[in-house]
A and B are shown apart, each in its own frame.
Chain A
Amino acid sequence: MSGTFLGMPSLPVFGIGNLHEHEPFPKAAHRELGNTQLRANLGHATRTIRDKRLAVVSELPDWEELRDAGRAVKESVMARLPELLEQFEANFTARGGTIHWARDAGEANRIVASLIREQGADEVVKVKSMATQEIGLNEYLEEQGIAAFETDLAELIVQLDHDKPSHILVPAIHKNRTQVRDIFLREMEGVDPELTNEPARLAAAARAHLRRKFLSAKVAVSGANFALADSGTLAVVESEGNGRMCLTLPETLITVMGVEKLLPAWEDLEVFMQLLPRSSTGERMNPYTSLWTGVTPDDGPQNVHLVLLDNGRSAALADEMGRSALHCIRCSACMNVCPVYERTGGHAYGSTYPGPIGAILSPLLTGITAEENNSLPYASSLCGACYDACPVKINIPDILVHLRGEDVDSKRGKKKLPSQMDLGMKAASWALYSGKNLGLVEKALPLGRIAAGPDKKITKLPGIAAGWTQSRDIPAPPGQSFRQWWNKEHQAPAGPAAAGTDVPGAEPAGPKENP
């Protein structure tokens, strides 16, 4: 039964799994910034994809209209989520599919493992899926004695190298072609020892490596890009054909999908299938998209399951300012335009979801106080490039600021001692909350000139401000502030707003001063 919630409002239940920063972002970023090869690889790759995206986006005369439609569809999905989930479930089930609900990562993992065991299988082929990375499915299956083979080229590279993905679309974006060649030579059984670093040769090696696996696999595990409530249809968007192999050949198909991935109706797909490929790979359309609705007799898997995952999504939905982060269609455009991501790479964000969207989505899913996720909303200069690139217009900068507020508020009263930042902000609030106070502070400007010395620049500051002077000077302050100059220029006979430094009522009346 759908309808308005009548019970007691429950406390948000946050997500678990690979969603956490294990050290503060600045520390992780410091380490990654030291890797010059990584910087070069990322710079090259993100520049390439930015240019491709711009070219295909500028081709469409109605790009902004598509973005507006995309945003509204997603808003509507969030507002109608319970009803749409029930509608989807009814349609998917009516066509022979089975739905499972998972409250969190652990429950989802257990469901998938037991479905695999039911088939007597001890290995599965996998299509790249953010949801299964989020819940740590591969690691869990390994503990259970089930081998999971990633089949997407980049995922394969990462898995062979025992590394972690660093980008949601191109998980091996941090590796260049020579590094990939070296990994294949080292880890891939039966690989041609003469393998070169040409991408075409590397792709051919991956094809040969996985072909037998595809043709013999009994069980596949996938994610889904979209789920259509009005028909019960699932969609997977991909490039290489590994998705088609997994979705078509095995007898059993298990899909894991976050509850927010729904679209209300078939016609909504026309919006998202124009937005997604151009935003992600910078192509007019990705090579392959597969759609299936439950079971089709005699065509494809006959044992079809879908695990609907909460894992913190309901908690993110409860945040009115932050809930639009759930509109994300995982295109990665925000990462590719982010100046912070471009320099640190994805590993610095800890979570499965890196970059600007990760900096909001991870703390929304886990709660701002979980582990070091409170450092993520600060991992942005608020330049706004992500918002401009987002195909569904998620206002990432505003949500970052909102979450910074949540972080600051969550610490109020809890700490024994305020941080330097707390003290600085309090002092600045006093100095900046009236013209009079700022005028008083400006009287001290000559002190700064003395501090600056004969070079007329300040090169070393203490405490949190030391971060500034590690690579920048500060100019010596002027001998006279603008306010002081103005007041001198406009002394009696009084000009329009000449002498007044007070606004009536803006602060308690005090003696008039004449700075």
Chain B
Amino acid sequence: MNARTEILDRIRSALRDAPAVPEVPRDYRRSSELGEDALIELLTDRLLDYKANVFVEDAAAVPQRLAALLEGTGRYAVPHGLAEALFAEADAHDGGSGRRVTDAPGHRLSVEELDGVDAVVTGSAVAVAETGTIVLDASPDQGRRVISLVPDRHICLVRAGDITTILPEALRRLDATRPQTWISGPSATSDIELERVEGVHGPRTLDVVIVRG
């Protein structure tokens, strides 16, 4: 008998008392009523608690914010789906897009190239205010998982309209089968005496730009 058949037989035999399948009581919170300002405030509070840096900007001010954040850094990576216009201000400072490297289908950045950039700028799919979580689902404005992993600094744009209060609301906006990365602050460890220390293998700096409107 092959292992598959044998294991499934063992399990069926173990369940020969035919245990009941209970109804799952879903009496926990599944929706919420927070307004946009309250959501932004809550998400900001949580992210700061994780030692992320948070900036709240109107859409029109995002290019300036990005330019300011990128000032003084070397090359930075972006996914191909992120709007060029976001970098207009940075490019104006630089006199061109020379610092920016784009990961695109047909022109993939290698791990070595990514290891050589100072930062990555991505969008995001959805965020959860209560837990300070930002979800990336590899959509074109977020790119392949590797680009937001290898660079030591992650600048992440979160649209105010994508913020939910609680996790169940966020999950309803996501497709399970897309590769996902849930990010709650910069990489961290609690492995030494259970004290949280920020900055291990993932990006050690997380800058979040929350975009209104």
Of the listed stretches A17-25, A236-244, A346-354, chain B binds A236-244
B81 within 8 A of A: no
A296 to B139, CA, bound (A): 12
Contact (Cβ within 8 A) B144 A299: yes
Contact (Cβ within 8 A) B115 A5: no
Q: Would A9 and B193 be within 8 Å (CB), given that A101-B4, A240-B187 are in contact?
A: no
Q: Would A240 and B200 be within 8 Å (CB), given that A249-B111, A290-B181 are in contact?
A: yes
A399 within 8 A of B: no
Q: A162-178 toward B: CB 8 Å interface, digit per residue (1/0)?
A: 00000000111101110
Contact (Cβ within 8 A) A287 B184: yes
Contact (Cβ within 8 A) B180 A203: no
A473 within 8 A of B: no
Q: Would A215 and B111 be within 8 Å (CB), given that A79-B20, A299-B138 are in contact?
A: yes
Contact (Cβ within 8 A) A240 B25: no
Contact (Cβ within 8 A) B25 A75: no
Residue in A86, A103, A153, A291 whose beta carbon sits within 8 Å of that of B191 in the complex: A153
Q: Which of A191-240 contact B (CB under 8 A)?
A: 199-200, 202-204, 206-207, 210-211, 214-215, 228, 230-233, 239-240
Q: Would A79 and B21 be within 8 Å (CB), given that A69-B26, A202-B192, A240-B187 are in contact?
A: yes
Q: Would A284 and B132 be within 8 Å (CB), given that A45-B194, A62-B28, A215-B115 are in contact?
A: yes
A113 within 8 A of B: no
A215 to B203, CA, bound (A): 14
User: Considering only CB atoms, which chain B residue lies closest to A309 in the complex?
Assistant: B7
Contact (Cβ within 8 A) A154 B191: yes
Number of interface residues of B (CB under 8 A): 79
A118 within 8 A of B: no
Contact (Cβ within 8 A) B19 A78: yes
Q: Which of B170-203 contact A (CB under 8 A)?
A: 171-172, 176-203
A244 to B187, CA, bound (A): 10
Task: State the Cβ distance, A262 to closest chain B Cβ, in Å.
Answer: 11
Q: Would A7 and B131 be within 8 Å (CB), given that A62-B28, A75-B19 are in contact?
A: no
Task: State the Cβ distance, B5 to closest chain A Cβ, in Å.
Answer: 9
Residue in B10, B11, B149 whose beta carbon sits within 8 Å of that of A248 in the complex: B149
A298 to B145, CA, bound (A): 10
Contact (Cβ within 8 A) B13 A318: yes
Q: Would A314 and B26 be within 8 Å (CB), given that A4-B12, A269-B171, A284-B132 are in contact?
A: no
User: Considering only CB atoms, which chain A residue lies closest to B4 in the complex?
Assistant: A101
Contact (Cβ within 8 A) B144 A241: no
Q: Return chain B residues, CB-CB under 8 Å to A4.
A: 12, 18
Q: Return chain B residues, CB-CB under 8 Å to A291.
A: 176, 179-182
Contact (Cβ within 8 A) A314 B194: no
Task: State the Cβ distance, B177 to closest chain A Cβ, in Å.
Answer: 4
A65 to B145, CA, bound (A): 34
A72 to B155, CA, bound (A): 40
Q: Would A103 and B3 be within 8 Å (CB), given that A239-B187, A241-B202 are in contact?
A: yes
Given contacts A13-B10, A287-B183, 8 further A-B contacts (CB under 8 A): A66-B28, A69-B25, A239-B187, A240-B200, A270-B167, A281-B196, A291-B181, A310-B10
Q: Which B residues form the contact surface with A (CB < 8 A)?
A: 2-4, 6-30, 46, 49-50, 105, 108, 111-112, 115, 128, 130-133, 138, 144-146, 149-150, 167-168, 171-172, 176-203
Q: Which A residues form the contact surface with B (CB < 8 A)?
A: 4-5, 7, 9-10, 12-13, 41, 44-45, 48-49, 52, 61-62, 65-66, 68-69, 72-73, 75-76, 78-82, 85-86, 95, 100-103, 107, 151-154, 157, 170-173, 175-177, 180, 199-200, 202-204, 206-207, 210-211, 214-215, 228, 230-233, 239-242, 244-245, 247-249, 259, 266-271, 273-274, 277, 281, 283-293, 296, 298-300, 308, 310, 314-315, 317-318, 320, 323
Q: Can you report 19 residue pairs joining A to B where beta carbons are below 8 Å apart?
A: A12-B10, A12-B14, A66-B28, A69-B25, A75-B19, A76-B22, A79-B15, A82-B8, A101-B3, A215-B111, A240-B188, A284-B131, A284-B184, A296-B138, A296-B179, A299-B146, A300-B145, A315-B14, A318-B14
